[in-house]
Structure 1
Amino acid sequence: MSQRFGMKSYMKGAALLTVAALIVKVLSAIYRVPFQNLVGDEGFYIYQQVYPVISIFVVWTSSGFAVAISKMLADNDCIADTVERQKRRNTIIRVVFRYLTILSLLFFAILFGGAEIIARWMGDVQLAPLIRTGSLVVLVMPALAIMKGGFQSRGIMEPIAYAQVLEQTIRVAVILIGTFIIMTTTKSLYDAGKMAVIGTVIGEVTALLLLAYIFYKRFGLRNNQHLHQVKSISIIKEVTWLSLSVSMSGLLLLGYQLVDSFTIYTSLIDNGMAPTLAKETKGIYDRGQPLVQLGVVIASSLSLAIVPLVAHLSKKQEGRSAIPFIQLTYKASILFGWSASLGLMLVMPYINEMLFKTNTLSEVLIVYVFQIVPLSIILTFTAILQGYGKLKKPALFLIIGFLLKIILNVRLIGWLGVLGAAVANDIGLLVTAFLLIVYLKGLTGIQFASGDFYKKVGVASLSMAAVVLVWLQIASAFLSHLMSSRLMAVVAGLTAVFFGAFAMLTIIAKKRVLVEKEWYLLPFGRRMAVYQLWLNSKK
């Protein structure tokens, strides 16, 4: 292979992508807060209605196909004959690029030409111009996917990380500056939503230009005249199955959001809620999305790096196997996913008011953010199974959960309001996560974690809950007479997060939930390993 995969390269890649993903997720959460503060819950509803419609195509092409291409090229790099390997690589890239170009033009036609129909299905025809504007972004996806996949197949993660950060930075700048100008002039909420979509388009174009520049600097213009005599249909079939499998895990959250876009507003209207209140209620419900995105950042970063690694190690007859990676990735996903979810649930009323002005529907958001736990498992397990070449069963499990989400949304929203949609999220994702755990356990025959691991995580969780709840009672009683409600939420919420995280990490370190060697292998784990050694060395 052009770059040898191993524990060091895996964790280096995971660390780099984790940094990039963390920056991107933080920026994503940050821009949604002032954006919501500028446009209110109704304006937030407008943007979040259109966001999954556009993003679902973008992620499938630029992310799903990128990972699929990286796996195909990584498998191809195992071919011993250098000439044969290069010919086949050239063929894969050329065929996939042409195929992606056709798909992108098709998606563009559907979104641009069918914008009014899609908006009508959502119950709000004023969304059509936003959908048309967003359709432009799919045109840059073929080149973006090819370059991302090419870099990742070689284990070169830096350009991908830089492009992700630049894309999100430009996007956030355009959205916030443009929205501020609109809200201080025309005050049109739909124009503000359109500006947010324009920011996405500009950000993606910028990422493409950066990757193209880095690719040219590293590799120059290569002559790809020598092609391998392989039927295009076999490459198209393989990349389609791979990209759909990869996309279905990465697109899961977007897919659930898409269901919400088509069902929540219309269901609330059908059940007698006034249109303006229904828009505001959906906007409040959507506050949970950036919180969930932050909660799954570690799992999504690990899943990006583990696909080519497992693909390589699963083919080795001797030496280190993929089993230790799988066990560590599972334990890290459970640990970080559960900690993030529990922490958010405990401080939700304060975080809700701190970020979004009011603590309205905090009970709905508490239920909503629980999905971080099953999502963390789903992201990592689908990535592991993709590395093993197992695509059909994970796809089936994801479809089962998705269909369950649709059915429960239709049934529960009329009964419970937006709380029903949050419950549907949790149930659909939990079913998918459970099926994936059972399947991977049967496939590998390994124990992902011992019973002692869960007991220790439980003790740490109870300790964190006790610290947070007691502190919030004290802080609320003391600060309520000294400052405004929102300022109190800021002070109480942030301090509770700090004390809760400290308690959780200290118990985890004291109980040695992960051994020091495992911490050293995780992104940002070196300091935790040092803290754990120091804590357990004290007499």
Structure 2
Amino acid sequence: MSRNETNQLLKGALLLTAAGIFSKLLSAGYRIPLQNLTGDIGYYVYQQVYPILGIVMVLSLYGFPAAISKIRSETAGKAGGQTIRSFYFPLFLILVVLNGSLFLFLYINAPNLARWIGDPELISTYRVTAIIFLFVPFLALLRGSFQGEQRMAPTAISQVTEQLVRVTLLITAAIVISVKQLDIYEIGHAAAIASIVGALAGAAVLFVLFLKDMPRSREKEIIEIPWNYYVRTMLLFGAVAALNHMVLLVIQFADTFTLLPGLIESGLAKQEAMEAKGVFDRGQPLIQLGTVLGSSFALALLPTISQDRLRQQPALFYQYMRGALLFSFYLALGATIGLVLIFREANVLLFQNEQGTADLRLLVVSILLCSLSVTAASILQGLGHVKRTAGFILGAFFIKWIANQLLVPFLGITGSALATILSLLLLCAVTLYELKRKLPKLNLMKVVNLRAMLIAIGAMVLYVLGMHALLADLFQSSRGLLLLYVIFIAITGGGLYLFCLLRFRAFNKNELSMLPFSTYLLRFYKGREKNEQN
């Protein structure tokens, strides 16, 4: 591969990463007005549908497109390998069969699924949700085809378009349901319909771009289609690639099936259990935002991770990987501790009351564990260990499921928070252990500056507690004032934490050079170095 091709691939991958981060931020942000408009029970209804919608989005954005991109790159240059007849039609047919089967399964089994979850009123919601699977073939085929040509912009544009349309329609529907006081279960239908329209918008963008350079073949000979290879790659590689993007989704999916029945078994009435799950789900957008912050640097580095890079430039490779893990650890740790400190105020600000604050503070620990797991898993995937990391994530799902069944009937949502932490702790442990086995020279713990970390944490904790003691009561009178207070504390507390990390040398020069605005950071570092010498 030439230098220009490598640069093009890197730019495309970074563009896709940026679109993914923007979409995740949008996905986390819209849930706050959604809960405000529909209440905890409306939020519960949405969260019972969301994991299925999320799985569909991952399949159409990461799983199947990755498999199609792989097929396209491996068949490039072969006679008839990229034509409508030999490539697009067979893959589209396979996708239709796979996703059509998922549609039929969910549509037919919606009554059983709703009864299993413990809420028969969700039957019609799940049937409408099933329709979204029918749009996956169009989205996945076109995205995978573009990515196989190293053209990431169409995927990025369609992803952002899909999310913007979906969020706009969902919030509009929530406003209508709230103002007209419609049946709260309508929010589930609205979520499914908004996702369907969003998928249509994303597919339309891709189709227009595809028509500009649609392949045309004049070959008349019969081309043998490698059906076994196509099906095997779509089923195995596509499903595994999708699973590697589902860490938080699989945890929520386990809650969908086990939390409501467990809460009812603990002694709560159904209405109380629904509200309790809605309160528990308040933690999801905040955990998602924290995880995006903690793992975004690792995602941006994904294009630099490969076995070839490890063999050709081992020193540089280890520098990048060590930096990715180090930044993920420091940022996620700061986000976790900071959010624990201000969670009561954030809960009141975002969700209008402080219900569930103690349990959600416990759940916030997931940010650190999930960020490290995602970062380590991303590196392992880049090195080619895709199936292994998928297996680890699947294991975390079953641990969460079993722990929920054991703990929730006795401890309520506290049990579910503990189950989430347990599953992510084990996932974090096995991914880091596997990374240590594959990259023995990484030595992450040896490069963590314990002194700088403890000073930064101590300074942030003392500052935030001091500000709470002095100012918190002054900003409780209105939501607007509380917003200003939370923003001020978050920015200044986070800034103090990062300042202490830099001042006390948590990073070396090479690591700082990998960051945005590295010129200014290095200037600060050198200024500190001169002062010490004087």
Q: Comparing 17-26 with 401-410, which one deviates more in the overlay?
A: 17-26
Is the contact made by 2:266 and 2:412 (CA closer than 8 Å) also made in structure 1? no
Pairwise CA distance, 1:148: 2.2
Pairwise CA distance, 1:314: 5.3
- Say if 2:456 is the partner of 1:457: no
Q: Comparing 184-193 with 146-155, which one deviates more in the overlay?
A: 146-155
3-state SS in 1 of match to 2:30: helix
- Say if 2:487 is the partner of 1:491: no
Q: Tell me the residue number matched to 2:206.
A: 211
Q: Distance in 2 between matches of 1:224 and 1:364?
A: 64
- Say if 2:43 is the partner of 1:44: yes
Is the contact made by 2:10 and 2:303 (CA closer than 8 Å) also made in structure 1? no
Match of 1:474 among 462, 465, 470: 470
Match of 2:159 among 146, 151, 164: 164
Pairwise CA distance, 1:228: 7.6
* Cα distance change, pair 122–18 in 1 and its aligned pair in 2 (3 A): same
Q: Distance in 2 between matches of 1:380 and 1:89?
A: 38
Match of 1:413 among 404, 408, 416: 408
Q: Distance in 1 between matches of 2:187 and 2:331?
A: 35
Q: Comparing 302-311 with 57-66, which one deviates more in the overlay?
A: 302-311
Q: Distance in 1 between matches of 2:251 and 2:244?
A: 11
Structure 1-normalised TM-score? 0.88
Q: Deviations over 1:237-264 (max 9, x none)?
A: 2343322322222122111111111111
Which residue type is aligned with residue 526 of structure 1? P
3-state SS in 2 of match to 1:70: helix
Q: Tell me the residue number matched to 2:494.
A: 501
Structure 1 residues 310-325: aligned runs within 5 Å: 310-311=305-306, 313=308, 322-325=317-320
* Cα distance change, pair 509–211 in 1 and its aligned pair in 2 (3 A): farther
Q: Distance in 2 between matches of 1:109 and 1:5?
A: 42
Q: Deviations over 1:348-371 (max 9, x none)?
A: 111111000011111111122221
Is the contact made by 2:453 and 2:501 (CA closer than 8 Å) also made in structure 1? yes
Q: Tell me the residue number matched to 1:34.
A: 33
Pairwise CA distance, 1:307: 5.5
Is the contact made by 2:65 and 2:140 (CA closer than 8 Å) also made in structure 1? yes
Q: Distance in 1 between matches of 2:241 and 2:142?
A: 17
Which residue type is aligned with residue 25 of structure 2? V
Q: Tell me the residue number matched to 1:187.
A: 182
- Say if 2:95 is the partner of 1:100: yes
Q: Distance in 1 between matches of 2:397 and 2:288?
A: 18
Is the contact made by 1:385 and 1:440 (CA closer than 8 Å) also made in structure 2? yes
3-state SS in 1 of match to 2:506: coil
Q: Distance in 2 between matches of 1:345 and 1:163?
A: 36
Q: Distance in 1 between matches of 2:335 and 2:154?
A: 29
- The answer for unaligned runs of 5 or more in structure 1 is none
Match of 1:273 among 268, 290, 313: 268
Q: Deviations over 1:7-64 (max 9, x none)?
A: x557644643443234323322332111111110011101111111232233234322
3-state SS in 2 of match to 1:389: coil
Is the contact made by 2:44 and 2:281 (CA closer than 8 Å) also made in structure 1? yes
Q: Comparing 176-185 with 65-74, which one deviates more in the overlay?
A: 65-74
* Cα distance change, pair 319–54 in 1 and its aligned pair in 2 (3 A): closer
Match of 1:223 among 217, 222, 232: 217
Is the contact made by 1:31 and 1:172 (CA closer than 8 Å) also made in structure 2? yes
Q: Distance in 1 between matches of 2:419 and 2:43?
A: 22
Q: Distance in 1 between matches of 2:223 and 2:497?
A: 55
Q: Tell me the residue number matched to 1:343.
A: 338
Q: Tell me the residue number matched to 2:24.
A: 25
Q: Distance in 2 between matches of 1:2 and 1:145?
A: 28
3-state SS in 1 of match to 2:189: helix
Is the contact made by 1:284 and 1:361 (CA closer than 8 Å) also made in structure 2? yes
Is the contact made by 2:132 and 2:192 (CA closer than 8 Å) also made in structure 1? no
Match of 2:138 among 140, 143, 156: 143
3-state SS in 2 of match to 1:189: coil
Is the contact made by 1:516 and 1:529 (CA closer than 8 Å) also made in structure 2? no
Sequence identity (%): 29
* Cα distance change, pair 22–436 in 1 and its aligned pair in 2 (3 A): closer
Q: Tell me the residue number matched to 1:234.
A: 229
Match of 1:248 among 243, 257, 261: 243
- The answer for unaligned runs of 5 or more in structure 2 is none
Which residue type is aligned with residue 168 of structure 1? Q
Q: Distance in 2 between matches of 1:281 and 1:428?
A: 21
Q: Distance in 2 between matches of 1:85 and 1:306?
A: 35
Q: Comparing 416-425 with 139-148, which one deviates more in the overlay?
A: 139-148
Q: Distance in 1 between matches of 2:314 and 2:146?
A: 26
- Say if 2:519 is the partner of 1:526: no
* Cα distance change, pair 375–229 in 1 and its aligned pair in 2 (3 A): farther
3-state SS in 2 of match to 1:146: helix
Q: Comparing 25-34 with 317-326, which one deviates more in the overlay?
A: 317-326
Pairwise CA distance, 1:162: 1.9
Q: Distance in 1 between matches of 2:10 and 2:457?
A: 27
Q: Distance in 1 between matches of 2:232 and 2:245?
A: 20
Pairwise CA distance, 1:386: 2.5
* Cα distance change, pair 271–88 in 1 and its aligned pair in 2 (3 A): same
Pairwise CA distance, 1:281: 0.8
Q: How many residues align?
A: 526
Pairwise CA distance, 1:4: 5.4
Q: Comparing 192-201 with 356-365, which one deviates more in the overlay?
A: 192-201
Is the contact made by 1:60 and 1:251 (CA closer than 8 Å) also made in structure 2? no
Structure 1 residues 247-396: aligned runs within 5 Å: 247-298=242-293, 301=296, 309-311=304-306, 313=308, 322-396=317-391
Is the contact made by 1:246 and 1:382 (CA closer than 8 Å) also made in structure 2? no
Pairwise CA distance, 1:427: 1.0
Q: Tell me the residue number matched to 1:67.
A: 66
Structure 1 residues 412-451: aligned runs within 5 Å: 412-451=407-446
Q: Distance in 1 between matches of 2:46 and 2:481?
A: 29
Q: Distance in 2 between matches of 1:120 and 1:284?
A: 22
3-state SS in 1 of match to 2:503: helix
3-state SS in 2 of match to 1:250: coil
